[in-house]
Amino acid sequence: MADVVMPRLSDSMEEGTVLQWLKAVGDEVSVGDELVEIETDKANMAYESDVAGTLSEILVQEGETVAIGIPIARVGDSDGSARDGEKDAASQPAGPVGAGDPPAPAVAKASSGPVPPTAAPEAPADGDGHRVKASPLARRIAKERELDLTKLQGSGPGGRIVKADVEKAKAEPVGEKGFEPAATPAPAAAAGPAVETAKGEISYEEPSKLQSTVARRMAESKATAPHFYLRASVDMSEAVSGRAKLKELASEGSVVPSFNDMVVKACALALREHPRANGAYRDGRFELYSRVNVGVAVAAKDALVVPTVFDADRKGLRQIATESRALAAKVREGQITPPELSGATFTVSNLGMYGIDGFSAVINPPQAAILAVGAIEERPVVRDGEIATAHLMQVDLACDHRILYGAPAAEFLARVRALLEEPLSLAL
């Protein structure tokens, strides 16, 4: 009998929530099979089994949260022989335990009544009995909409059904192989009946694990890292003109780098020249990193997720653009993995697409700094004593004063501005 424990799926994960069991009790499990979907502090992902056999018992039900290392299920031999001794012991009448008797198995939760059998919803299968290939997010949406996955055509790799396939499908009556209608979620528990106040009726909403983690990390950042801010205005006129030419010359379907991709590249090159900006203050000393990995903040549903562009200083603009788009799509599809959310040494947060002129961001700990990017706007400027126009973009650099001081931070930001104002240098 092998225990399946709550795995550590991210470097900062302390506990996980079981969202959905993808196998039922009695199902055969092979190494590499998707066994359970788990919500971590960074993403929801399907955990692949590292043991083979028969799923004999589910110890943690859907919706329950346990710490890493706690058993969540048990997998036995395919012939069930691994459970024979346990069954025999369970059939013996209760009585005092002698010195030579084996200890009774620990009971996780006391119950005054009969314990119902533990089982998970059966995953949909096709006519040949094979489990339908679908992402965990697609399964959850299909369950909510009462869609039969066996009737959908997958557009993902290997015919895998993804979120887009489910959203395009129309709701159909659920057949024998479809999901049962999803239970209506119970409202958040309150201390008593809703009370009409000057603010109206008060309702409560529990944050997701990701939202709770963001709240905790941002509070820790502001409480422990002495922030200071530097602001600069970048003339993006050459970048605007250069990007327009790239769009004209680009073939159909090719990726044209965005202005944010240019910012990521400029930051990466500047970070290589300013090691303190590419470091962290931890345990009373400076950590300096040999790799330049830039995190790009992406707005997910009700949360902010920061996937990483690794070795951004060594990659061309087009490669950065391609990777950034793929990572953003994974975030929005709920398919981003913990490794893609780890390892960033610096972060870029851009709200320019929302028409924001500028803002001050909170450092993503334990990084030394974060760059907040505003919108590009055509504004009047004075050049050679005459009024002209230029495409200006405001950038704000938030710094941890424990490692990045005023003058070095100003030099770093000045270098980022110089690179953006001469965009040809980004291709070198």
401 belongs to the catalytic site: yes
Q: Which helix (H) or strand (E) element contains residue 73?
A: strand 71-76
Active site residue: 227, 274, 391, 401, which one? 401
With residue 300 as reference, give the H or E element that holds it.
Answer: strand 298-300
* C-alpha dist (Å) from residue 175 to 134, 149, 185: 18, 11, 23
**Distance between CA atoms of residues 384 and 274, nearest Å:** 33
Give the pairing of strands 346-350 and 294-296: parallel
- What sign has the CA pseudo-torsion 352, 355, 358, 364? negative
> How many angstroms separate the first and last alpha carbons of the chain?
58
CA–CA dist 415, 33 (Å, integer): 49
Measure the CA–CA gap between 49 and 63, rounded to whole angstroms: 20
In the block, residue with structure tokens 């009726």: 201
Q: What is the CA radius of gyration of the chain?
A: 27
- Got the DSSP string for 228-284? EEEEEEEE-HHHHHHHHHHHHHPPTT-----HHHHHHHHHHHHHHH-GGGGEEEETT
Residue from 57, 42, 11 nearest 331 by CA: 42
Quote the CA–CA distance of 139 and 183 in Å, as a whole number: 15
CA distances to 6, 10, 57 from 68, rounded to whole Å, are 5, 11, 18
Tell me the residue type at 369. Answer: A
Instruction: Count helices and strands (H / E) in the chain.
Output: 8, 20
Measured distance CA(416)–CA(278) in Å, rounded: 13
Q: Is the CA virtual torsion 10, 156, 307, 16 positive or negative?
A: negative
Asked if 38 and 132 touch (Cβ cutoff 8 Å), the reply is no
**Of residues 221, 260, 293, the one with CA closest to residue 395:** 260
Q: What angle do CA 179, 182, 188 make, to 5 degrees?
A: 160
Tokens of 218: 């941002």
Six-digit token string for 411: 């030099």
Give the residue numbers annotated as catalytic, written as ranges: 401
